[in-house]
Amino acid sequence: MRPFIPIFIVATSLVTSAQEAKPTPTEELRVSVREWVETMRKIQVEENDWTRDQENLRLQKEGLETMIEDLKEQIAAAKVRKEGGDQATLEKTTARDKLAAAKEELVGRLRGIEEFVLQKTRFFPDPLLKDPKMVQSMEDLQRALKLPADKQGEDVSKRLLNVSNILSEAEKYQQTVHVEDELRADASGGEFKVQTIYFGLAFAYSVNEQATFALTGRPTEKGWVFTEQKDIGPDIKKLIETSAGKQDPAFVKLPLIKP
């Protein structure tokens, strides 16, 4: 604050000087001017100090205002980041929950698929089940089905691939005619070396070398069942030789094997 410098200082000095020795008018004027100049100098100094202080205060005020604005912007930015972070965290949490739920559902469905595939393997013929790739896949399937409840979420991708491989091999077998060398027993228990022609997973015909022993086969809930048939041995042998290219293509009449 600008200090109050009373003008009566000049007047008091003049009165005191007059009491001690009466100065001449010229001296009085000189003294008055000198004291006035000193007073004005002090006033100017104070005004300059005030102006400087005022400028400093203004600069400080502007600096504080700038700082406040910066802080406001930082707070706003932090809020946006926090909200974004919260949203990102929420999205990650939601995605994680969805993933966990999807995995749990997949595990449940996979278990059902594994059980379904195991049931369907009863309809697979022996040559398919004895294929090395299928043997390994079936072992993996059996091992997976023995997993306890708290372990059924393990190796999901591998197990899913395994059942896919089993179904893929079955599909390939289904699309092709196969001729296999096998041993089959007659009603009395006697064994014969036979050739069996499998029409995919649908049905099969078997015959021995002499065409004296013939069977028809079909898949059932208990596996493949072969039934001895009479009088069709030569026709089955002709069919097998034709499929192997040993005879010219010809029409072969055989009984339809009903399920």
Give mean pLDDT, residues 41-48. 57
Q: What's the CA gap between 159 and 212, in Å, rounded? A: 46
pLDDT of 21 higher than 80: no
Give mean pLDDT, residues 190-202. 94
pLDDT in tens, 47-79: 555 455 455 545 544 554 555 455 556 556 666
Q: What's the CA gap between 214 and 201, in Å, rounded? A: 19
Give mean pLDDT, residues 102-127. 86
pLDDT in tens, 153-194: 888 889 989 999 999 999 999 999 999 999 999 988 899 999
For tokens 């993996």, what's the residue? Answer: 140
State residue 208 phi and psi, 5-degree precision.
-85, 180
Tokens of 139: 């072992």
